[in-house]
Chains A and B, each alone.
Chain A
Amino acid sequence: MKNQNFDQQKEYKYGFTTDIENVKAPKGLSEDTIKFISKVKKEPKWMLEWRLKAYERLKVSKEPNWQKPKFSKIDYQDLYYYSAPKSMKDKPKSLDEIDPKLIETYNKLGIPLNEQKKLSGVAVDAVFDSVSVATTYKEELTKKGIIFCPISEAIQKHPDLVKKYLGSVIPVTDHYFATLNSAVFTDGSFVYIPPNTKCPMELSTYFRINASETGQFERTLIIADKGSYVSYLEGCTAPMRDENQLHAANVELIALDDAEIKYSTVQNWYPGDSNGVGGIYNFVTKRGVCRGKNSKISWTQVETGSAITWKYPSCILQGDNSVGEFYSIAITNNHQKADTGTKMIHLGKNTRSKIISKGISAGKADNTYRGLVDIHRKATNSRNYTQCDSLLMGNKCGAHTVPYIKNKNSSSTIEHEATTSKINEDQLFYCNQRGLNQEEAVSLIVNGFCKDVLQQLPMEFAVEAQKLVGISLEGSVG
């Protein structure tokens, strides 16, 4: 374990580590590492070939460098690409067989794995470093024909579905980090909702990076078949370390005719200490495609963690009348850097998209909204509305807006507006006067600023997110 600063634990309450014996892949990125991962996961041959194809591509591609936040060089040979708790080597058959330490970890994080004790009605898939440790509520979901399992399990049990859809939204030839993920992804969730089914509960995945010198490369694939609906939540935390850890996930969503996917994220990876040491590099590729008519994909994200975030959840609106939505809150404090936004690509007729982005910047942080709205020639009667608001606290931080707007269709309309301002002194004064201290007042005002996005979150998450907004900004005013 590298030296940790325990004083900081107050600020980041998920900063603890769990002492668990790990099984790791040999250090470094090579064909052997990929073969190792594939072997451990007992993957069929086609999957290994797919991974190796990605690796070949990776060898000739370069890291992207157009984003605003620059990062220190990542030594890809100095990372472990696979790390799993030893007790998971032979998969436990029920929750009773899981290492109690793991259960304890998730209890500390507030994630209920124990179905009996659970009240919240959310099915959880918990991913610890490179493997999925537990999936709850499986039986109830199976009755409805819903598949919700770790993706490694799906590769073995539902190869047809995986083969058909994996990489169909984010091809192996995409940018560097997406390709890296395709080569070495370890686990993640797989969701399939059969036609005309409304998923009875929220599905949720909880990601946790525990081991040091590892990267987490999860892959999530969600398919909503005709006329179905699913709401999916994702949460993440990591221990405090003074090294930068890489998290490069790929998330693919596919919505067929009349289907709807709602994807919510509360990202709270370790952001580094107040001097900018350590923290997670969160380089994530999230993309959804509205393949069918009248389909809908809605992204909601609350980004409070990570040292650097690069994330652009996108929607390809292929089917006629399809709808894409993006609601985002990005909060950066201390030395955090966030470069996040969305892409709305309108291909089908009567497609609609809406973007609401709220960026809050404090301390010495940098916050960028970067987005693309592209209405293609054939996307008649399409519409986009974008609103990006930024809030600045202090004059050492930065807030930036970089929207790309392309309109090639004369019957389509694009509207974009953006503002940048600071917290209104009058509002602060009003709150102070009524007995709130400075921090409570700021938290209240910021929550109000973010309201449009917070109300898009499912209830359980909204409460957590609201608290998180307050905590992330502690110490930034006064």
Chain B
Amino acid sequence: MINKIIDRFEIKRLKTLTKSEETYRKNCLDIFNRLGLPSKRDEDWKFSDVNEIFSKNFNKFNFESVKSKNQNVEFIKDLEHNYILVSNGEVVSSDFKYEDKDKINLTQFKNEDFSKKNENNSLIYLNHALSEKGYSLNINKDYKFKKVLVIYNYFSSELNENFLNIRNKIKLSKNSELHIINFIIVSSSKKFFSNTYEETVLEESAVLKNIYLQDNVNDGYFHKFARYKLSKRSNYSSHIFPSGPKFNKFDLEYDLSGDESECKIIAATFLDQNDHQEIKTKVNHLAPNCKSYQKVKKVVSGESKGVYQGKIYVKDIAQKTDAYQLSKAILLSENSEFDSKPELEIYADDVKCSHGSSSGSIDEESIYYLMSRGLNKIESTKLLVEGFLSESIDTIKSTAIKKFLQTKLTSQIK
């Protein structure tokens, strides 16, 4: 059983804190201690009871930071790319060899905003109270990246029941453009918890494309809260392919606060064994003429559980909004489960908003068709699942990236 109250000593352990920062962190910790770990009694955690999951799997909170001795990271071949190597949340090395280095600013994350915020998620308070590591990336005005940037997020083998609180910030100035591949690599065979808070700001007409990829099976527990602020005519698109960890929850919030901004979220996952994965999105249409598109596909097998909670919020002034949301799931085994809550909250009348959600078994007729052509049942199922998930890569333009993702996605399907 885990002790749920965290001592203020954990903050004292952090070095070089200014007075105001220390007070801020203490306040955040007090709030976390009051709220406790999220449980199914919280509406947003109805399908993922972290309190229960942690009580079962962890004995204590261990917030000590871990330095890894060597990073055993295999870089992506056949793809020209810049990279940042992050080990247990800390930037270890970086290389922007294809870019103009003056236009890019990469530093250790430093929080300067100590204002009080109202968050619904207690893990954000925990993060703000105890985060030590993380990066801040700034792209200058009008600079467009020539090659993709791969951020290798490495979790080292030294991790053993550690709780990492990581805080990142990405800012794209006016008219800049960046493509990122966030690649998660886990080397630890033990349990650990990674709690990330990430803020992304897109200034006017900025473009950000983000691919999140995680593919090796591990005992990690991941929670990521990310907030995106989109200004006028900015464009954000993301592809999320998370597979492998025991527990994974994405809590993603998008503020379309500038006219004609657009965001697109596409996710595809294969879940196995007793994996538990949730994607929760909230898209806030706060200005007119914005567009949002969401498509989440999941295949659940073994005793795994997939969850999708998506919410589209349209403010009264956000006329001419075009919002779309779709979730689809295939249940492959008797003990798998898929839950979804696609929500609409709309206060403007001249809008086009729709959502769809479906879940069910794999199409028997298609299986029959393939088997009658000589494939066995396992092969047929695999082929159909692959087709179902691969559709999500279709919208990626770069053939090299597409090819790389296709191999990764295929290897996930068991």
Contact = CB atoms under 8 A, between A and B. Distances in A.
Contact of B346 (A400, A406, A408): A400
Interface string A406-449: 11111111111111111000000000000000000000000000
Nearest to A383: B360
B342 interface: yes
B339 A418 contact: no
Interface stretch (A71-79, A149-157, A388-396, A459-467): A388-396
A420 B329 contact: no
B343 to A, nearest CB: 5
Contacts of A418: 342, 344, 354-356
A246 B322 CA distance: 40
A398 interface: yes
A413 B360 CA distance: 4
A392 B349 CA distance: 5
A218 to B, nearest CB: 31
Contact of A416 (B316, B350, B352, B356): B356
Nearest to A398: B347
A404 interface: yes
Contacts of A398: 345-347
A371 to B, nearest CB: 10
Interface residues of B, number: 37
Contact of B339 (A401, A406, A413, A416): A406
B359 A417 contact: no
Nearest to A414: B359
Contact of B343 (A401, A406, A407, A410): A401
Contacts of A406: 337-339
B361 A410 contact: yes
A417 B354 contact: yes
A66 B43 CA distance: 9
User: How would you classify the secondary structure of chain A's contact residues: helix, strand, loop or mixed?
Assistant: strand
Residue among B342, B346, B348, B356 with the highest chain A CB neighbour number at 10 A = B346
Contacts of B355: 401, 416-418
B370 to A, nearest CB: 19
A402 interface: yes
Nearest to B354: A419
Given A400-B343, A407-B337, A421 B351 contact: yes
Most buried by A among B46, B353, B360: B360
A414 B341 contact: no
A410 B316 CA distance: 40
A377 interface: yes
Contacts of B332: 410
Contacts of B248: none
A340 to B, nearest CB: 15
B331 interface: yes
B354 A420 contact: yes
B394 interface: no
Contacts of A410: 331-334, 336, 361
A408 B340 CA distance: 12
A390 B348 CA distance: 12
A415 B46 CA distance: 21
A399 interface: yes
Contact of B349 (A393, A401, A405, A415): A393
Nearest to B340: A405
Given A414-B358, A415-B358, A416-B357, 19 more contacts: A392-B348, A392-B349, A395-B317, A395-B348, A395-B350, A402-B343, A407-B331, A407-B339, A409-B331, A410-B331, A410-B332, A410-B336, A412-B361, A414-B357, A416-B342, A416-B356, A418-B344, A419-B353, A421-B351
Interface of A: 66, 377, 390, 392-422
7 contacts: A377-B334, A392-B346, A407-B329, A407-B339, A414-B358, A417-B355, A417-B357
